[in-house]
Amino acid sequence: MMNFLSFFLLVVQTHSVTPVIHTLQYFTTACSQVPNFPEYVEVGYVDEVEMSYYDSNIRKAESKQDWMNKITAEDPNYWQRQTEKKVFRQHVSKDNNEILKKRFNQTGGVHTFQVMSGCEWNDETDEVKGWQQHSYDGEDFISLDMKTWTWTAAKQQAFPSKLELDQDIFALDYNKYYYTELCPSYLMKYVEYGKKVLMRTELPEVFLLQKTPSSPVSCMATGFYPDRADLFWRKDGEQILEDVEHGELLPNHDGTFQMSVELKVEVTAEVEGKYECVFQLSGIKEDLVTKLERRSILSNASHEAVKQINHTIPTGNVSVTATLAVLAVVVLLAAPIIIIFIIKRRRSRQAQYDSAAGDDGNELSERREG
């Protein structure tokens, strides 16, 4: 089974130049005994852009984008209702942590309980897909199979949850409705709200970097948007696959992205002009081409050049938002993951369905049984 970190990187690093696939994702983290960190955090993203936030310290659901406030024109109580639901889930998640501690024979220490759920929509084919994956203390726990609509337990301790959840016909029916209809409909609505931001295109600055004359030449593109892009080396017009190493797609602090690709080559007069770094961005027909020439390479030998590029290019460790930076603390403490809301029912099933049917699906795990 794909773990949370692998899944998250797959989502973030997908950058082939293909039809636009939009995503709506929710990440929640419930933790215990983590110093200087809220015991509950819930963050929503549209196309990797943070659009909503809640934590147990502020106890208020907030919009993180001006365009998300458009929803109050048709639903004035939207944010108030979101706050109430998140406060409820905050208390339920605390109970869940205690349940899981007992299942794993734990008495104390740092523990995290998280969930990643969402859907994607192909704006050309209208195909939709969904996911709901859960983990505890950095390891897969249970996930929902969207083909069979049954639960898959990754741990022995998850089997009691699987047996009960598979028998919860109401919750399974709601999941089918949410992932095939409700989630995509909200995703389309949010994309329409934020299309000026989400559908924009920004070309990058491209730099050739080399630590020493014998080091690989790194081609770095930074400041582009969206993340559906490709970066590769060509020689004599043909793409090179050997002696090439691709770096990760990384977020910049301003919401744009950066990526790099290294080429193992000795830069001599004979090879100058034969190699070129090519950047391609979805929606832009023309390639951005940078020829390999010694005079174009920035190296450690050029202090001013390195100083300039350090101001130009944010480091790959900078998170998209302060939220991700905070979540990184939990990652270090308990490993990255997706989590499980194994939840005690506190409302009647019909009342839950009525409450959720008109919403954005943030209460997906509210029907989980401990």
Look-up: residue for tokens 């329409």?
Answer: 192
Confidence band, pLDDT 50/70/90 cuts, at residue 108: confident
| Most confident by average pLDDT, 49-63, 92-106, 341-355 | 49-63
What distance in Å separates the CA atoms of residue 132 and residue 179, rounded to the nearest whole number? Answer: 9
Confidence band, pLDDT 50/70/90 cuts, at residue 324: very low
CATH superfamily placement of domain 4-197+322-367: MHC class I-like antigen recognition-like (3.30.500.10)
The 3-class SS string of the chain reads CCCHHHHHHHHHHCCCCCCCEEEEEEEEEEEECCCCCCCEEEEEEECCEEEEEEECCCCCCEECCHHHHHHHHCCCCHHHHHHHHHHHHHHHHHHHHHHHHHHCCCCCCCEEEEEEEEEEEECCCCCEEEEEEEEECCEEEEEEECCCCEEEECCHHHHHHHHHHHCCHHHHHHHHHHHHHHHHHHHHHHHHHCHHHHCCCECCEEEEEECCCCCCEEEEEEEEECCCEEEEEEECCEECCCCEEECCCEECCCCCEEEEEEECCCCCCCCCCCEEEEEEECCCCCCEEEECCHHHEEECCCHHHHHHHHHHCCCCCCCCCHHHHHHHHHHHHHCCCCCCCCCCCCCCHHHHHHHHCCCCCCCHHHHCCC
pLDDT > 90 fraction of the chain, expressed in percent and rounded: 54
Confidence band, pLDDT 50/70/90 cuts, at residue 318: very low
Look-up: residue for tokens 């950047």?
Answer: 279
| pLDDT per position as a tens digit, 356-368 | 444 554 433 444 4
Report the predicted TM-score, pTM, of the whole model to 2 decimal places: 0.67
Do 336 and 138 meet the contact criterion of CB atoms below 8 Å apart? yes
Do 209 and 217 meet the contact criterion of CB atoms below 8 Å apart? yes
Angle, helix 169-177 to helix 159-166, in steps of 10 degrees: 80
**In the CATH hierarchy, which fold is given to the domain comprising 205-312?**
Immunoglobulin-like (2.60.40)
Tally Cβ neighbours within 10 Å of residue 37. Answer: 19
Identify any residues that bridge with 260 across adjacent strands, giving them in sequence order.
220
| pLDDT per position as a tens digit, 291-312 | 999 888 987 544 344 444 444 4
| pLDDT per position as a tens digit, 3-33 | 544 444 444 444 334 457 899 999 999 998 8
Confidence band, pLDDT 50/70/90 cuts, at residue 317: very low
Q: Where are the domains of the chain?
A: 4-197+322-367, 205-312
